[in-house]
Every structure is written in structure tokens, then in C-alpha cells.
Structure 1
Amino acid sequence: MTDTTTHHYWQGAFIGDDEAADRLAALPAAVEAALAEPLDTETVLAACDALAEALRDPGHPLRERLAPHLPAVGGADGPAAEELFAELAAFLGRGSLTRKLHRELGGTAPQRLTRPDAKETVYEAWAPVGLVAHIAPGNAATVAPLSLIEGLLAGNVNVLKTSGADTLLAQHLLAELAAQDPTGALAERIIVLRFPSSRQDWLRLMCAPADAIAVWGGEAAVEGVAAHVPAGCRLVEWGHKISFAYLTRDGWADEETLTALARDICLFEQQACSSPQVVYLDTEDAGELHACAERLAAALAARPAPAGTELDPAEYAELTTTEHLARLEEHLGFTRVLAAPDGTWRVIADTRPALTASPLHRTVWVKPLPRKNLIATLRPMRRYLQTAGIAGSRTDTAELSALVLAAGATRVTPVGAMTAGYSGEPHDGVYALQRYSRRVAVQADRRFAATACLDDLARPVAFPAPAGPLLDKAAVQDLNRGVDRGDAELYFRSGGSTGTPALSLFTYEDYDTQMHAAARGLLAAGYDPARDRTANLFYCGGMYGGFISFFSILERLGGVQMPMAAGPDHRATAEMIIAYEVDTLFGMPSYLWQLLHEASDLLRPYGGIRKIYYGGEHFTEEQRRTLTETYGIEVIRSITYGSTDLGPLGYQCTHSTGSVHHLHADLHTLEIVETDADRPVAPGETGRLVFTTRARRGQHLDRYVIGDLGRALPGRCPCGSHAPRFELLGRLGEVMRVATYFLNHRRFVAIAQERLHYSGEIQTFLTSGPVREVLTLRMERTDSLDPVAARDAFLAAYPEVRSAVAEQLLDFTVEPVHGAALDRTPTRGVSGVASCGRGPGRRCRVRTRRRFPRRRLRPPPRSAAA
């Protein structure tokens, strides 16, 4: 929209002056309404990243829409326009913003009330200040919109004033940002007005309800706003700063250093606060001063001429006045002026060390300042200092950095990189997001011991609905091959239990985010880092990341741990458990079962193990009963539900039973779709679990079909959390279709436990017989197993099997076999995963996996289980 009568953008709509005046009068009410719903940081990140992608695409229509509002910098297709689009895209990319959030606010969800010390029921978060008013400068096109986006990252409502002489770039860019957010939450927090500073009534109405006011500009701009700052409002000054270079003798003797310094001077025509205005030399010798000035003048003369931008009268007057005064002082022996014949650059050598502002436009002072006088000379100007570019030896750089920082500079760089920055860099000595935020805390009592995040009790996390095609493991591996090397810092290899082993890639920031989430899940499951003494008995090495991950999780919880790892010497492990007074075990059920029974003569008298947190498999109900009654285990819960590709997906709370988990809703979105189509299942029905991960910088894993089956559980959990719940119902391959019936291997396992008190292994085979399909359950042979009685029990408890048999669609048998006859895969512990193959001679079987020889795993004596 180019109509100049509607040059204000207000919460999703372009409006004119009259309507803007009316809305300004009601600004407090608009702010209160917008703040009623918290803003998830992920909403901001997703919209910004989408906008960045559009800005990078030369053919995207968004660039055409913004083109009429670009500053007059050589046309919308010129190099300056490309540079502006690139600058915006670099700032708005997910990678840049997540690094900024991690540096400034500690993570990508800083607004969530979590426990900084897991041993205490104290919750802290970064909360928005409320309304941030941004007063933007008129000489930097990108400052205005990017300042407002910083306010959004902190969760604030934002009102931005641009100069009356500015284009409508900020208005339209921020409107495009709001359009990337389907929730409308961003639009509610964006107000952009264009009016001159002389319009004091509007400025007063804009500032009156503000909780923080960010002012970009010099002292005059700050003074003009200060009169409107209400009591208690935070004034954030982003004022004009002075930067300088400091050269030791080694530095000014080096031609490359002077060339780099000339580049710093010419880049942006010294319009950036980080551009050098003064060059200091570590000397008191006037001869060295003049010699260096001449060589610097030669380096400036070698630079390309500046673009033909006309100076305004005030700038031209300041330039000529400074040069003429310096030429007059040449007669007093204070100065020497070296200038280009065409007036495009000036080097003014001055024997007086006092810091002097430059009139800019390639005009630089060269002054002597021995390091012994550095603090005394510069400290009086400390409030104006910003960047110091230092050229010298490694020792000089270290010593001089300490001196210039003590004098008041906030930033030190090499000469040649003074105007360059890095993602997440503090600005003028502070982090912007912290200036736009408040650190808040909630103290709670022991009723909240298992509540890791207070927000989960208050509201559900809501992300935009996922879109796009379903991804399988092969598609994700293809995506991995396209991950940038900078985003592939940590490699985990999957165990290969459900296919060929594959690599999963993470940044360390992603890994840290996931480990913190898993740690919160452990708290919800009843883990107490202040009291529990834990043995980490997951497998270490090979293809397993479990041991490393839970070491990291316990580290973040501050829990006491003995990282023993799973090993074949069970008695040695048991002795360590007793010696270190371990009361909590982490590990795989198959290994923990072996450990407890191989060393039962030590561990049963010890009686100190109270909690087991397991991963990878499930304990059967019979095994749980044995652990409780024989070993006195009080808590047996899943340690997490997750995958190598996606990280932690779900967790159990103290009210979770069986395979019921809460979703890590701050990390992922869960869909449940039909087994044979991309359609949502009916409420409560079983389907494929499809995850979209939200908290990854390096990868976008959208709608990943993980291969598990489950169903959503209705209603809110008794624990009080709003996080969705789901029940795991096995792997996709464990479901067999017989005519119109879907049969699940896990249902057979559950019936065997409940009706037959069977704790052995079961394999399910589905084959095509000459007349009908044949389903065979292979069970370990025991003295008490009667195949006829077992068949009757299954038919009585499984209506679908009974109906299929009654309708003569299926032959069903139970076959007792020796354990050695069961099919097995070579890796991991004992668990069952069905692999369906249909057609003549093909079968659906559960591949039973075992790490240790068969003789090492034996059920407890029947008398112990009774």
C-alpha cells in the first residue's frame, strides 16, 4: 500500500492520521488487551524465519512489495538494496535469533517459569516489561524495525515512531512480519507511527503508558523524549557513540593494518557508531605522529571514491569549519591537515590527545596517546565511548583491551573489523532483550516438588498447526545430508533396532534445550535431585546416546550420580550401589532385571533401592509386581519417551501409568493420523504418532512419522498440567490386519501377563494358510504353560481375535517353544517390535532382542512373585 494518507500501521491495519489520533488516546486499553495472552517466543521465531527466507529469495513477491519503500539507495534492484535485504535477513534468521535469545535471556523459551535450581521449588522467568515505545533515528533504515523485533522477542507490546521524513519501510516490513503469523499474536503487539518530533501531543500520548522507552539518537533526541518519560518508566538510550583505533608501533608500521584501518573509515562513510573517528598512536613523538598520518592518507587515497551522495548544508558546514580551524592551528604547531584534492577524505594530525569527535565522511583525527595516559585521557568521555579497534602484538592486545575497557569502551575488535559484529553481541555494553524484560520469580511450597514448569498448570502451549507432507526416516536422513556444517555440532548414531543405524545431527544449543526439557520431565516423574542418589546404568559406547544424555540431564538437575554404565559384572555393580548408598537406578529394563536377579543376594538385604527410571522398553506388570514386592521398589516410571532424531518427546508425571506420557509441548507438536492415510484419527482412536519439532536451529523436522502407534487421552491430567497426554500402543509393525480387524502384539502381551501371569517372551507370526490366515503365538515353554488353556484365555480376553476365528477368517494357535528357538536380532536388550510381511510364506513376527546370553536372564522364582 503506497497511499500516504494511511502511513501508520496499527495492530494489523494501515490507518490515517485521524484514526491514529483516536487510537493513541485509547492506547492503554489496547496494550492491556494485547498483554492478556502471553506471547510464545516460538511464534516470533517462526514468523521472523519465514520473513528472512522471503527476503533472501530474489524472486519473492514480498521484495516487490517492499521495493517502493526502500530508501533512495540506487534503486530496488541495486547493490545497496540487496545489501539492505541481506542485512535484514541475517538478523531475522532463526539461527541468529536463537543465538541472541540464548546469550541474552538464557534460552529460546525465556518467558516460561522454570526452576533455575531444580532442588528448590522456586520459579524464575524473563517477563516482558509491558509496552515498549521505540523512538527511531532517521538515518538508519533498518534500525526502526529491528528495534521493534527485539521488543517482540522479549514478549512486549511495541509502539514505534519513525521520522516524518522516513519512507514506509518499517511499517510495511513489520506488516509483512505480522502476516507470517497465522495466530495474529504478533499483529496485536505491533504499532508503527510516522510523525515528526515536533508533534509533541502524539509523542506524549505514545510515551505516557510506556513501561520502557528506547531512544535512538544523540543528546538532543534523548532530551526531547525525556520530558515525556513517566515515573518508573525505564529509559533505554541508544545514543550516538564515538569509536577509535589504537595502534602500537608494530601496528602503524604495518601496511596491511593501515589498509584495514582505511577500510573501517570508509565503510558506511563513518555513519556507524563503530566507525573510527580518532586514531590513537602509542607514542609521544610528533615525528612518528606525522609519518603515520601521511601513510594513512595514502591508504585512504587508494580507496574507491564514495558514492555521489550530496551532503546537506549542515554536514558540509561542519566539515569545512573543522578543516579550516585545523589549518589555522597548523601555524601554532598543533595540527597538520592532509586532504584529498576533491575533498573526499581528510586526515588531521593533532598533537593534543583529547578525544575529539569527527565531522565524519572520511574525516579522521590522528593523535598521540601513550598507554600510561590512556585511562586519564579517555575516562572523562566514558559515556560516549563504544568500539576500540586495537592493532598490536598478542600481549599488547590483551593489555590494551583491559585499559580501554576500564576507560569506558564497551567493545574491542581488531583493526579492520570495527564495524563487523557477531550474532548475540551486546550493544553499547548491555543486552537489549534484558533491557526490555523483567526478571520475575515465584516461590512455591513442596506441593510443587514434581512441577517443573509453572506455566504448564496455567495454560497449554499453542503452536500453529503443522503443514506439509509426512516424513519417514529415509526422508529425514536425506534432510540431514543438507544440514549446514555449522549446525551439525553433535552427532548421535541410532541403535538400528528398527532399521539401518542412522545419524542424527544437533547443535549444542539444541542439545542443551532438549536436555533441560528432559530434566523437567524427570522432575514431573517424581525424581528428587536434592535427595536421590542415582546410578546411571544405561549402555555406554557403541551406538547408544542414552548414557551421555542422562549424564547431561542429571548434570542440569544438579543430582547426585554415579555414572557406572551397564556392564556384564553385575556383582561389581551391585557392590558399588551399596558402597555409594544408591537409591535410584537409571537404565534399560532388561539390564536392570538381570542386575537385580544376578546380584539378588546382595541387593535384597541392602534394601535401599527406592526408585527405577527406565528407558527403551517397558517392564511387564508381573515384573513390576516382583520389583515392588521382592525388592521394595517404590517408584517405577519411564525416564522419557523419545527418539534419537527428535530427542525427548514425552514424559511421565506422578499420575502416569503404563505407557501414558505427557507431550513435551514446548518442544513438539503431536498429531495422530490413521495408519494408512494422512487423516486425523477419531478422538481416542489409535493411529500413527506424527511429531513436528519446534526447538531446533539446525533442522526443520516437520510431520515426522516416528513409527510408533498411540492414542490421545482426553481431559486434563490429575497432576494439573495442560500438556497433552498420549498412550503408546507399540510400533507400527506390531499391528496386523486380519480381514477388517486390526490386531496388536502388545495386546497379546498384556493378556498373557494379566490372565496367565506369564512373564516370558512372546513372538507373533501371521502367515497365509491354504484356506485362511494363520496367527501363531510362540511362547516360552514352562511347566505351567498349557497351550490349550492359553488359547482359550486369549480368545476370551481379545474380542477381535474371537470374532475373526468365529467368522472363519483366522486360524489361531499357541505354540510353546524353548527360548533358544525364538528369533532374535543381534543388538540391544530384550524388547519386541513387530515386522509385518504379508503373502504366501511370509510372516509377521516380533524380533526379540537380547544383549546378554540367554542364561543370564531368568525370571524370579515363582515363590518370590507370589
Structure 2
Amino acid sequence: MTVTTTAGGTETITETETETMTAYENENVTAYGDGGGPTADAPHFWQGAFIGDEEAGRRLAGLPGAVEAALGTVLETETVLAACDALAPALLDPEHPVHARLAALLPEDEDPAALLAELGHHLGRRELTRKLRRELGSAAPGRLNRPDPRESVYEAWAPVGMVAHIAPGNAATVAPLSIVEGLLAGNVNVLKTSSADTLFPQALMAELAALDPSGTLAARIVVLRFGSSRQEWLRLMCAPADAVAVWGGEAAVEGVAAHVPPGCRLVEWGHRISFAYLTADAWSDPAALDALAEDVCRHEQQACASPQVVYLDTEDEAEVFAFAERFADVLAARSAAAPPPGARDGDARAGDRGAERDPAEEAELTTTELVARLEEHLGLTRVFAAADRSWRVMADTRSPLTASPLHRSVWVKPLPRRRMVATLRPMRRYLQTAGIAGSRTDMAELSRTALAAGATRVTPVGAMLESYAGEPHDGVYALQRYSRRVAVQADPARFATTACLDDLARPVVLPAPSGPLLGKEEVQERNGRVGRADAELYFHSGGSTGAPALSLFSYDDYDTQMHAAARGLLAAGYDPVGDRTANLFYCGGMYGSFISFFSVLERLGGVQLPLAAGPDHRATARALIEHGATTLFGMPSYLWQLLHAERDALRAYGGLRKVFYGGEHFTPEQQRVLKDEFGIEVVRSVTYGSTDLGPLGYQCTESSGGVHHLHADLHAMEILDPDEDRPAAPGETGRLVFTTHARRGQQLGRYVIGDLGRAVPGRCPCGSRAPRFELQGRTGDVVRVATYFLNHRRFVALAEERGGHRGELQILLGRGEVRERLTVRVERSAGTDPEGLREVFLAGYPELRSAVAERLLDVAVEAVDGAALDRSPTSGKLRSVVDTRR
């Protein structure tokens, strides 16, 4: 395939390339809607459509307006992650239609399977999330959160605006990955590819954009294909840019820099030089030489991290020449076993890659080797080269860094470690990787020296071309170069309970849930398939509604969830500066409440007394008083027992002001008791969540009862009809279904967690735009008894409102000799009247009264001590319904 440029700047594409693009278009009739794929007449991808030169020129003139319009819509990081994660499996699967379409557009000298697999690996959620965390500190870096919860200051990473990417030729993965980095930072991205490149970047970006039905991604992607002679196009492309990323040598950077407007950030990804450094022990080790040969031969030294010079920790010229001869033998053996790409049997110049080298490369190889051979007569050099010119080792007694002509050509030079900084520092702007071979102590000492000399990364020899997700490139993080760190300082009094400033401005929009509904059994079965790399933290549920279930988390996901729960507590009125908190959740047996809220308080920077729930109420009360606790975290049933067991001491102390509870509910009557008798001012949910999914909702200062805001940056929520798999009517109670978007190695979509709730319409008085819902109990709280459905919450309401009951209440179901039996067990107090409560239930619950009148059910009320009620052994949570009929 060849491309020529006429004097007028227009490009002529050969018949071969036209046929390739036409074939791609025919295979791609459904991939991009009616627009089809890239063609010879429409080689540019502009915000979701393929267009020709004339239209591209017209749109370039209006690029500033297009950028402003695109930036008017917020791009959620999750939108980018979801699209990339959906594309990645297609790139990894050679049988996938997307794989076939893209492979057809790759250059002939590329291995399609290997290149697409590399891209698929980098575009997976795991790698991109790790990159975000490492470079920008969070998987959602664009949200204005408090870096210190104790201050009303909000910070975020914001896009610079528009990034112009000037891609290098013949590097198929660089351009699309640079656009993905720009998208992760939230920018509009305009990419220029070479006129000699295929249309692979355009097609790949079109595939990615097609995976976002909202069109937000497409609005931020423009890919243009034009030659350097079109200077006017380059000028128009750079004029509205806030950052220009350019790959290439100094000449390429200078050519682009001329078009960069004042104040625009120029991000240079220029050519770099790397070197290997071997100590005396290492250069005599055959394994070290084999590893060095791997670094030299891999990618034919075309990568910036490829070693061009091998330095030896010596001043002895004889050792340099001896090592060069030994290393030449290693290169010869490797080349014989695996000749360079492009080698042909019977070709005397097999290792020379024939047509893959241009005349300039050939000239540089010949000249460098010839000059080195001439200097042998002066005793300065010694050259060891293959007869077929497939490799060459050039020993040189002079230490200064010398660029290699590449293609398995390497210099060997002496450089005592004490002279490393002085010798290499003059070339510091060009240095990149130092591959070091030596002892553990050598590695530590030489790493510091190499970094001081100007290297930006250090690796072991043999791993110079290896990389990891989120690794700095040329000494900087790419995502930070494409972002701005922004801050908002707010009035502490007015924003004390605002954890995320964005929640006041706009709702979070995440990809719509899809797929089948999942129950607890399906989720448990999926847990068995979670890889060990993603199962770093194991939790058991409390088991209050059945056998304890296992939940698995990565530490990254756990950290994300704990930060979310911390933001929810701020919204609920927790004060990390003034509150002194006793963590009284249950601990042990892989139960997560105590550990989780220890982590939450740690992230809030709040004062914490990690006491945990225990049977010695006196010792717990003593600790609360001695250490000045003002705030209690715990299960309602435990806190209720503690407060009443140590009533006199805690009332005399009088320092308790806040209670944040979880796992159960304090009834309105119980909350009145806490406030009237113990002086507690705030009683709110610490969080609403599940062991499987983590925090799902939070209360604000305007919330009461079971009303919560959704953690909309983590989850999407549906409310489905109780009996059918369709949305519940507006305002009606239904099954709560959650889809989480922040879990590594797990797909927890459309999880029916067993709770009932209803949507709360309208915007909350607190100002947050996060959706609200009201909990209406668990599906297990509604039981079928004697042909009727009875609700535990109805019994609680009747006991409080008509019977004056203040304590806990539990329903026990069993079978008598003749009919079913329902026993309401209530916590005994001085005024408890079991028979009176029985009459209240029969009078106020028509279905219960009918079941008794029809002789289908026996009903009794028993007063028992609170400790006698049936509870989960792990969490201490009260079991609202105990069904012994099964």
C-alpha cells in the first residue's frame, strides 16, 4: 500500500488500499448504522460519522464551536470505562466480527492477533481503573469531592478542554490509546494520523463510540488523516487546543510547536535513549547476557526502552572488548534461532529486513559500522558483526552516550559507577530506561545514581521493554498532562454536610442496566468463579435472613466503597472534627460491619473508639464515659440493650449526642425514647447497604425513617413490581434491584437483594440531585400465613401507635396440632400487656382478624427479655420473622 501527495496537497490512494477499505465497509454495514465504515472517499471520523476531505475542511473551520458544544455535556468516567471494557473482549477474540474488521485495516507487517490482543488488554476495565487510580488517585477523578473531609474544600481533576494528538506513523496502538487517555480525562480529542497510515485508528474509535448509546463519547472524538503538507489543516486543528500531544523527534516537535497557540500545553513524547548497566558479577553471568540479548532483539530496538548502549562498571578496556566478543556470540545464537522479522531463506541479507528498512536507515547502519571499523586502527573500537549484517556489537573505549543505528546494533562502553552522573547528565533530556544487572545492593544503589543522571525508569536487564498499568511515561503521568487540578472553597457553615459538590449540580448518569435478574443464589454461584487476583477481601453476611453468604472484594473496590460511605455520613450530619465515635458494630467471623466502619472513620479522619459490640455493657459504658464519646455506631438492637442496661450511668454522663445505626431500623417510638431519655439529638442511618454490594444509599439531614439517597456514582437502581419483572408504578412499592459499576472481576448486574422500597419523587430539600427511595422492609418480612400475606412492619406500627410498645418485636411462625400458629414476641418492660397487644393486633389488622375468625390461625403474644429474642449469631441483628414451619 502506498500513498502519494500531489503538489496541491491532495492525496491519491492506490487501488490496493481502496479495495481494502471497500471490503471493510461491506463487512461493517451494521457497525455504525447507516453511515458505514471508513472508505477512500470518507477517511475521516468526525463525532460519529465518516466524512470526506471537503466536509472535513468545512468542519475544521468550525472546530472551536464543536469543541464548546461537546464540553457542554459532562462525560462520566464510567461511560468511558464501560465502552472500553465492552470493546476489549472483541479485540481479544479472533472470531469476533469486530476483530476481523479491524485486523483487515492493520499494516501488513503487523501481527493482527498480537496487536489487537495488546490493545484489548490495555482497554480492559482492570487496567484502565488501575491507571486512573495510580495517575489521578481515583476511579472517578472528575467529581468534586473533599480531599480532607474535615475541610469544606473540594478538588477534582478536570479536563484541559481539547487535546490535539499528532500521532507517529507506523505505531498502530499509540494513537487510539492516546485518545482513550484523553477521554478518561474528559477531553474532546482530535487526532491526526499520517497520510501513509491505514484507517485503523478511525475504525477502532468508531467501534468504541458505537458502544456508547448516549453519543457522549462520539462527540469527543475526531480522527483526521492528512499529510504534513496540509499546514492549514494542522493550524486549524491546533488553534482551539488546550493541549497538543506530539510524538517524534525534535524536528517533528518543532514543526507542530509552530502551530501551538500561546498558553496551550505542549506534551512532547519524543525519541528517547535507553541503556543497560552491568556490574562485574553480572557481565560474566550467562543468564544476564541472555536477558540483555532479549532486550536488544525484541522489537528490533525500535522501542524507546530498547538498550542502545551497554555500560560496564569498569575502566579496563580489555574487559570491554572481551565482553563485547562474548555478547556477540549470544546475539549470533539468538539470531540463528530466531532471525529478525522479514528474513527470507537463501537471502544473503536475511537479517537486514530487506524492504522494511528505508534508505536512510541503511545508510546510518553502514556509516556507523564503517566508522567504528576505521577507529579499530586507533585502538578505540572493536566491531563484531554478523556476516549477513543482522546484528552488530561495537565496543568503544569512550564512555559518552552514543546513539545506536538500531536493528540489533549495540554499543559496549566502560563507565565506572562513580562517573555515571557526570557522564550521562548532559544527555538527561533524552534518557529514558536504565536496565541494571547486579546484586540487590547494586540494584538499589545504581537505581538512585541512574535516576540522578536523568533516567526516568529503571528495570532489571531482560525487562526493559516490560511495562505496567499506570506506569509514568518519560517521567510524567499522561492523564495528569491531559488534566487540570481544580478546587472550590466553600462556606464551612453552609456546606458542612455536602460531601460532593457535583451532587448539587447534576445527577450522575450511568449506563442503563441490562441482562437477567440475579438472586442471592446466582450471585453466590458467580462468586465461585471470581479469580484469586480479584478476591482479596472475604466477608460473610450476618445470616439474619438465612445462611451467611460469602462476598468477595478487591481492595480497590473496597476503598471506593468506603469513600462513598464516608461521603454519605457527612451528608447525614457526621462531623469528623467534633464527633468522638464509638464503633459498636459486631466483629469477627468474617462479618464486615465493624471493619467497614473502622475504614470509613479512618477515611473521614474522625476520632474513633474501636470497641465493637460485646456482652459486657458495663465495661463498654465505662469506656464511652472515660473517653468522652459523643457518637455511637452500631446495630439498633445492640444499642438499645446497651443504653437500657447502663441507663443510669449514661444518662448521668449526658455526653451522647448522635446515633448512626445500620442493619435494622429504630422505630419512631424508639427514636423518641433515645431523644427524650438519653439526650440524643441525631438518630440516622449510618448507611443502607448489603454485604454483597456494599453501601447502596445514605441519609441526609432532611431524611427520616427509611428514606435514603442512592449512591448514584456506584450503582444504578430499578424498582420492579413485587410479582412481575416489570417496573413498579410511580410511587408504588416494589423490589429494589441494583446494578453496581465499581467491582473488579465481578459482574453484579440487576441484583434482586430482597428489599422492598418505593421511589421518592422530587428534589430533596438538602439540594442533592441523587435519586431518593424509601425502604419498605424486606421481602422476607412479608410472609404467607393461613392464605393471607402479613407484614412484620405492620405489627411494629400497631404495637407502637396503639399499644404504646417501645421495645423490639419478633414474629415466630409454627404449626400447631390443628392449624398454623403465629406468636408475637415483644421485649418485656414494666408496662407490657401481652393480652392488650393481642387485641390491638386483631383490631388493627383485618387480614389477621379474618384468619383467626376463619379458624385458620392461632395468635398469641408473649413478653420476653430482649436477650431471649432470636438474633443472628454473627451480626447480632434481630430476626424479624422466625419461620419454623419448614
Whole-Å separation in 2 of the counterparts to 1:400 and 1:763: 69
10-19 vs 52-61, which moves further: 52-61
Cα distance per residue 1:259-299 (max 9 Å; x no partner):
11011000000110000011111111110000010111111
Pick the aligned partner of 2:222 from 177, 188, 191.
191
Cα distance per residue 1:183-228 (max 9 Å; x no partner):
2111111100001112100000000000000001111110010001
Asked if 1:667 is matched to 2:699, the reply is no
Pick the aligned partner of 2:588 from 541, 548, 552.
541
What is the correspondence of 1:297-696 to structure 2 with a 5 Å cutoff?
A: 297-303=328-334, 304-308=338-342, 309=353, 310=355, 311-445=357-491, 446-696=493-743
Deviation at 1:114, TM superposition (A): 0.3
Asked if 1:698 is matched to 2:745, the reply is yes
Deviation at 1:73, TM superposition (A): 2.5
Whole-Å separation in 2 of the counterparts to 1:830 and 1:265: 63
Partner of 1:44: 80
**Other structure's SS at 2:783 match:** strand
**Other structure's SS at 1:729 match:** strand
Whole-Å separation in 2 of the counterparts to 1:800 and 1:815: 16
Whole-Å separation in 2 of the counterparts to 1:448 and 1:787: 49
Query: Does the CA-based 8 Å contact 1:739-1:809 persist in structure 2?
Result: no
Q: Structure 1 regions of 5+ residues with no counterpart? A: 75-79, 844-866
Deviation at 1:523, TM superposition (A): 0.3
Pick the aligned partner of 2:60 from 24, 31, 41.
24
Cα gap change, 1:672/1:809 in structure 2, threshold over 3 Å: closer, same or farther? farther
Asked if 1:65 is matched to 2:101, the reply is yes
Whole-Å separation in 2 of the counterparts to 1:115 and 1:783: 49
Partner of 2:277: 246
Partner of 1:107: 138
737-746 vs 377-386, which moves further: 737-746
Asked if 1:815 is matched to 2:860, the reply is yes
**Other structure's SS at 1:147 match:** helix
Pick the aligned partner of 1:259 from 283, 287, 290.
290
262-271 vs 562-571, which moves further: 562-571
Deviation at 1:464, TM superposition (A): 1.6
Whole-Å separation in 2 of the counterparts to 1:33 and 1:318: 49
535-544 vs 359-368, which moves further: 535-544
Cα distance per residue 1:628-659 (max 9 Å; x no partner):
11110001111111111111111111111111
Cα distance per residue 1:723-776 (max 9 Å; x no partner):
111111111111135799754211221221122111244344678999998866
In the alignment of these two chains, the number of paired residues is 832
Query: Does the CA-based 8 Å contact 2:396-2:411 persist in structure 1?
Result: yes
What is the correspondence of 1:702-741 to structure 2 with a 5 Å cutoff?
A: 702-736=749-783
Asked if 1:13 is matched to 2:49, the reply is yes
Query: Does the CA-based 8 Å contact 1:151-1:436 persist in structure 2?
Result: yes
Whole-Å separation in 2 of the counterparts to 1:721 and 1:740: 43
Whole-Å separation in 2 of the counterparts to 1:515 and 1:785: 41
**TM-score, normalisation: structure 1:** 0.93
Amino acid at match of 1:351: T
Amino acid at match of 1:735: V
Whole-Å separation in 2 of the counterparts to 1:775 and 1:601: 36
Amino acid at match of 1:703: R
Whole-Å separation in 1 of the counterparts to 2:697 and 2:419: 61
Whole-Å separation in 1 of the counterparts to 2:450 and 2:266: 26
Amino acid at match of 1:540: C
Deviation at 1:834, TM superposition (A): 3.4
Asked if 1:3 is matched to 2:67, the reply is no
Pick the aligned partner of 1:174 from 172, 195, 205.
205
RMSD (Å) for aligned C-alpha atoms: 2.2
Query: Does the CA-based 8 Å contact 2:160-2:482 persist in structure 1?
Result: yes
Pick the aligned partner of 2:172 from 125, 128, 141.
141
Cα distance per residue 1:499-551 (max 9 Å; x no partner):
22232111111111111000001101100001111111112212421111111
Cα gap change, 1:111/1:600 in structure 2, threshold over 3 Å: closer, same or farther? same
Cα gap change, 1:123/1:556 in structure 2, threshold over 3 Å: closer, same or farther? same
Cα gap change, 1:725/1:24 in structure 2, threshold over 3 Å: closer, same or farther? same
Deviation at 1:800, TM superposition (A): 6.3
Whole-Å separation in 2 of the counterparts to 1:497 and 1:767: 18
Pick the aligned partner of 2:300 from 253, 266, 269.
269
Query: Does the CA-based 8 Å contact 1:738-1:809 persist in structure 2?
Result: no
Whole-Å separation in 2 of the counterparts to 1:754 and 1:832: 22
115-124 vs 779-788, which moves further: 779-788
Deviation at 1:326, TM superposition (A): 1.1
14-23 vs 732-741, which moves further: 732-741
Whole-Å separation in 2 of the counterparts to 1:467 and 1:29: 35
Deviation at 1:789, TM superposition (A): 5.3
What is the correspondence of 1:76-225 to structure 2 with a 5 Å cutoff?
A: 80-225=111-256
Deviation at 1:425, TM superposition (A): 0.5
759-768 vs 632-641, which moves further: 759-768
Whole-Å separation in 1 of the counterparts to 2:596 and 2:869: 31
Whole-Å separation in 2 of the counterparts to 1:279 and 1:826: 66
Cα gap change, 1:268/1:810 in structure 2, threshold over 3 Å: closer, same or farther? farther
Deviation at 1:473, TM superposition (A): 1.4
676-685 vs 646-655, which moves further: 676-685
Cα gap change, 1:198/1:450 in structure 2, threshold over 3 Å: closer, same or farther? same
Partner of 2:8: none
Partner of 1:853: none
Deviation at 1:677, TM superposition (A): 2.4
Whole-Å separation in 1 of the counterparts to 2:637 and 2:832: 22
Partner of 1:861: none
Amino acid at match of 1:649: L
Deviation at 1:713, TM superposition (A): 0.9
Deviation at 1:435, TM superposition (A): 0.4
Whole-Å separation in 1 of the counterparts to 2:543 and 2:790: 25
Whole-Å separation in 2 of the counterparts to 1:585 and 1:731: 25
